[in-house]
Chains A and B, each alone.
Chain A
Amino acid sequence: MPRLPAAWPAILGLGALIVAFIGVPLGAMLLRSAVVSAPLSAVELIDVTAEALDLLPAPEREALLAQWSARANARQRMEAVAAALEASGLPVPWDRTAAYDHQVAAAAQTLEALPAAQRAEVEALLPLAVAALHRRVPLAFRLRDRLSEDEFDRLRGGVSERLGLDHYLRVVTEERFRRAAANSLLLAGVTTILTTGLALLAAHGVNRRIVVAAGAARFGLLVPLVSPPVVVATAAVMLFGRNGLVTYGLLDRSLGWIDASVGNLYGLSGVVIAQVLSFLPPAFIIFDNLMARQDGRLDEAAASLGAGPWRGLLHVSLPMAQPGIIRAATLVFILAMTDFGNPMVIGKDLPVLAGVLYDEMIGFQNTPLASAIALWLIVPALSVYLLLDRIGRRKRFETVGASAASTIPSPAAARIGLSLLVWSIVGFTAVIYATIAAGAFVSVWGRDWSFTTAHFTSAEAVPGFVSSHAGIAPVWTSLAVASVAAPLGGLMAIAVAWLAERFRSTATEALSFLVMLPAILPGVVFGIGYLVAFNAPLGMAALSLNGTHAILVLNILFGNMFVGVLAGRAMLRRLDRSLEEAAASLGATLWQRFRLVVLPVVRRAILLGTLYVFVDGLSTFSAVVFLQGPDIDLAAVAIFESAESTYYGKACAMSVTILLIVFAVMAGLRLIERWSGEARRAE
């Protein structure tokens, strides 16, 4: 490996950025989840206060103590006596929960009854006890410049922080969390089994060409990969909710078959359906990648050895798909566990752990507890993944080259069954998108079907729905954020890929591992990490990034860089190293080599990386929901909030706009690619 010294500044620079914006947030979140704060005992309070007072010159100190103790009222004195007794190691004999009048009298009596020596000791402590119990806040501010941040916080708040697993334990021990966790596990379990199974069957059917019009079916299954949040849930409620077009409009009102206020989609089954449809595309793509390279000869070999289609699937295809099954199931499980959008829009009475996390974050700003919950959400899936991955290690194999599919005609039952299954999924997806498109132009879904474009323009399209933003303004904010993040992310990804491939070392491997982390961890975790890490970076509140556009750009950029890095590394591995060495021998500098030799080759990877950051920037939800400040509205969050407050028209309008932007950009890139391809061929 050529380890040119010239590369080190670049590696160090990029490395610092990656550590700062991926490593630090995740580490900070882990740390924060284990920070437990507890109130200090009376004795500790007195110690802390005494220490702080020692910073003052003696005369000032004495004056202050005298002044405070003189101003203390009867109740404050009583409490000081109790604290001083404790600090001297004496019992507090009266009932601390009794009425204050009684307590004040009891305190005076206790003091009287003490032996003279002890009484003197306790009384000497009293001014300090008064200060410790009632004057710590002014004292802290008076000493602010002379105290460290921690000392200041401790003195002012009277609490101490220690490391512990208390937040994690709460999730297990408290009934409220336990119930939510049980719901989450049930939901994630059902969703994972259904999604993985359906995706596996669909990929099998499409890749073995058992499904009719397999190419079109694949396209239809992949389109929802680009999707704003809660699209499925929103459409499902619009169709099957209490006022749903099908449940209320058709079955209840027109046909009178059901009562839509009872027979609707809300609840566990509705959430499962929404989650299955939302997570099917990413699971499908995993199986599709795996099976597209699978050798059809294996099916034929199985058949020639006596295995019919069903047993071939069971004994050959399924074991081959095992790594995909593990990967897809882990992915779906984590997605389902950390999903709060669907349960909150469509679940209503079904508390899930992710929803509790959302409440703790948004409602109580209890970041440590939220961090602990976030980790609870992914720990089970990740540990199962690592375990299973270890077991299957020796069987690992490479499928080389593209091999022909099997030509064995499949039985009619399989053809019909799988075609029906796959095409009804595609059809359902189409209905969902059609519903969203229609909802964007209807005044009030289910009540007032008149045409309107008001959802796109005005702040308050419909009396009764209040919205904090004008029209689809959040979409433009998201567009701006994504447009800044995308090219930066694409370019940085290539730089990282190049350094990792060309200057392979422990350092660059560690960096690529860091870059991959956001791919494994759900957005919630990454988002909370940013919140924790950049609230007061390096202990300086002045540097805080929270509530700025910058933090959103950074989060989106670093959270999605891995796609560009993966694509770039794959392409660079095919680039002949000698080309670069030739350029180096001709005197090209590091930058010139990168620009002249590497960049032209990895153009597609840059494009892919940029596109991915862009699309995710437009539609990502869970990472930014806790990050956007009070002054910024991102489209994904606004869509979720609109849908959750049943203002579907606005949610639909913004979703439609995002989809249009994404498809327009993709189509534009296609055209440019084709055009530049033709230009190159013409040369």
Chain B
Amino acid sequence: MTTLAFEAVGKRFGGTVAVDTVDLSVPSGSFFTLLGPSGCGKTTLLRMAAGFVLPDAGRVRVGGIDITRVPPHRRGLGFVFQSYALFPTKTVYENIGFALALRGDARARIASRVTALCRLVGLHGLEDRYPHELSGGQQQRVALARALAPEPPVLLLDEPLSALDAEIRARLREEIRRIVEELGITALYVTHDQEEALSISDSIAVMRDGRVLQAGSPSEIYLHPRHAFVARFVGTANTIDCHILGADRVQCGDRRLPVRPNGHAGLAGPTILTWRPEHGSLRPGSVDPAALPGRLVGASFLGPVVRLRLALASGETVLAERTARDWFAAPLEPGAELSLAIDPDFATVLPADEQSRTERCLDFPPPGRRSSGSAP
């Protein structure tokens, strides 16, 4: 019933384009995440939905109704801030009951609703505390309860967990997911943590430089990225240059590899082949014509798997994985000749972007989340 839709929405601040023509539809009742690097415009987009920022172009609709020019206090959307933004002069009870008192609910009604919300978010017994007497996690629970109190059809959350430490973050994000699901409201959630996005979302939109590059389910985004940046930003990805030979075949160096037909046949300009480390399998020797030849240059132990670094004959470096058990049964020496076969279902051909070129000039491992992020 309550979809949230952006139609060709744009916003610039002076010279910076914060959001550049975004079209996005958040289906009713779904948990939708905006994911992207710092400064890509996630917050700005969210704040335009809340009405804190007026878009320069386009429209925002809630349940089909154009709210672009409606002031924030008449939109009735919930907002949860990264910095909690609790009213410091009000108790937990007064914070949560704020919207209800404002619209003139009866005292008894407010009391029962606040009590129910406190129980829902796990704040029971803390009603009379002031915000500065609470831990960070508790404060964010209050902020969540406060936003939920007037029963908003849409909840907007801007990196609500990023000020908390890892353990609480993991626990609270599951709770947020559960609560939103229980109440059946539409949630738009901003994060730059790809693991968080993959684990709690129904859908993810990956943004860069004010644009949405790809929107889809977590598995679609992870397994079938449609943009080199998406592949790199979400999880760990290998990218190498390739030439298109046909709908299901590319040439990399002197090898021809089978790939997933992806409508890429018509692509002009330089292209790359991308896949996840766990979708390659290693064999000794380098004669297999449908596999990439390379030399082992390093291995790092990640627990369940060992991640191997391979220098390809083309000079490119890629990553592959082996289970820890296999590796320790037959460890390889650096310099060993290997060939890497890629599972064609997960080998995707994409147009090369700026970064996929520059990165090859950098020493391995490349900077950013790729090397540290772990695939689910």
Question: Which residues does A use to contact B, with CB under 8 Å?
Answer: 295, 297-298, 300-308, 311-312, 315-316, 319-320, 322, 394-399, 403, 406-409, 411
Contact = CB atoms under 8 A, between A and B. Distances in A.
Contacts, number: 95
Contacts of B54: 409
A316 B132 CA distance: 16
B78 A395 contact: no
Nearest to B146: A305
A654 B257 CA distance: 92
14 contacts: A297-B83, A303-B71, A303-B73, A304-B52, A305-B73, A305-B146, A305-B150, A306-B150, A308-B74, A315-B98, A320-B88, A322-B89, A396-B132, A407-B52
Interface in B125-150: 130-132, 143, 146-147, 149-150
Contacts of A308: 71, 73-74
A306 B103 contact: yes
Top 5 A-B pairs, shortest CB-CB distance: A297-B85, A397-B88, A305-B99, A303-B72, A304-B79
Contact of A307 (B102, B131, B147, B156): B102
B81 A307 contact: no
A301 B73 contact: no
Interface string B60-94: 00000000000111111111010101111110000
Contact of A300 (B50, B88, B103): B50
B132 A397 contact: yes
A219 B102 CA distance: 36
B280 interface: no
- The CB with the most chain B CB atoms within 10 A, among A295, A304, A322, A395, is that of A304
A316 B87 contact: yes
Interface residues of B, number: 36
Given A305-B102, A308-B71, A397-B130, A300 B52 contact: yes
A304 B83 contact: no
Chain B contact residues: helix, strand, loop or mixed: loop
Given A305-B146, A315-B102, A319-B90, A295 B71 contact: no
B162 to A, nearest CB: 14
B89 A397 contact: yes
Nearest to B85: A297
A411 B74 CA distance: 14
Contact of B51 (A302, A303, A396): A303
Interface of B: 47, 50-54, 71-79, 81, 83, 85-90, 98-99, 102-103, 130-132, 143, 146-147, 149-150, 156
Contacts of B156: 304
Contacts of A322: 89
Contacts of B146: 301, 305
A303 B52 contact: yes
A303 B131 CA distance: 19
Given A300-B81, A397-B132, A407-B47, A306 B89 contact: no
Given A305-B99, A311-B73, A319-B87, 11 more contacts: A297-B83, A301-B146, A306-B76, A306-B102, A307-B98, A308-B73, A397-B89, A397-B131, A397-B132, A398-B132, A407-B53
Nearest to B133: A394
Contacts of B88: 320, 395, 397, 399
A390 to B, nearest CB: 16
B85 A298 contact: yes
Contacts of B51: 303, 408
Contacts of A411: 71
B52 A406 contact: yes
A312 B54 CA distance: 19
Nearest to A409: B54
Contacts of B79: 300-301, 304
B72 A408 contact: yes
Given A295-B85, A398-B132, A407-B52, A304 B77 contact: yes
A297 to B, nearest CB: 4
A307 B85 contact: no
A301 B71 contact: no
Contact of B72 (A297, A304, A315, A397): A304
A312 to B, nearest CB: 8
Nearest to A310: B73
B98 A300 contact: no
Contacts of B98: 302, 305, 307, 315
B353 to A, nearest CB: 32
B73 A295 contact: no
Given A397-B89, A406-B52, A408-B52, A307 B47 contact: no
A303 B103 CA distance: 13
A490 B50 CA distance: 51
B73 A307 contact: yes
Contacts of B86: 301
Contacts of A407: 47, 52-53
A395 B102 contact: no
B87 A301 contact: yes
Contacts of A316: 87
A305 B87 CA distance: 12
A319 B52 CA distance: 22
A301 B85 contact: yes
B350 to A, nearest CB: 37
Contacts of A315: 98, 102
A305 to B, nearest CB: 4
Contacts of A295: 83, 85
